[in-house]
Amino acid sequence: MGSEGEWGTQLRRGVIELCILAIIERAPSYGYQIVTEMSGAPQLASPEGTIYPLLRRLKRDGYVETTWQESDAGPPRQYYELTDRGRASLVAMRTEWRALVEAMDGYLQRNGAHHA
């Protein structure tokens, strides 16, 4: 088994896509905006080098679509918005996430009580 840090990194990678889709669901967002919002939670903070390739893959796979919008603060920005496929995927991912968290919470609470 790898170190605890490696385990945390693998776990975090598994939820980044869910977080990105949830952010975009609230409102169309541009890449740096997503990076900044995720940096508010240290466990989810991800560099641009992680987020942008994932956004490109989500677009290629049909989960998001993009539009360019002018910006008062510089060059035009590419905004990401969920497609119907992306919304359906987010619903499924949320359901799976909640079931996983519930199962893990129950397991960890039961086992923790035995060692107290």
Q: What residue ranges do the domains of the chain occupy?
A: 4-114
The predicted structure's pLDDT at residue 115: 52
Output the pTM of the full model.
0.83
The full DSSP string for the chain is ---HHHHHHHHHHHHHHHHHHHHHHHS-EEHHHHHHHHHTSTTT---HHHHHHHHHHHHHTTSEEEEEEEETTEEEEEEEEE-HHHHHHHHHHHHHHHHHHHHHHHHHHHHHHHT-
Residue 5 has pLDDT above 90, yes or no: no
**Does residue 5 or residue 91 have the better pLDDT?**
91
CATH number given to 4-114: 1.10.10.10
- Split at pLDDT 50, 70, 90, the class of 108 is confident
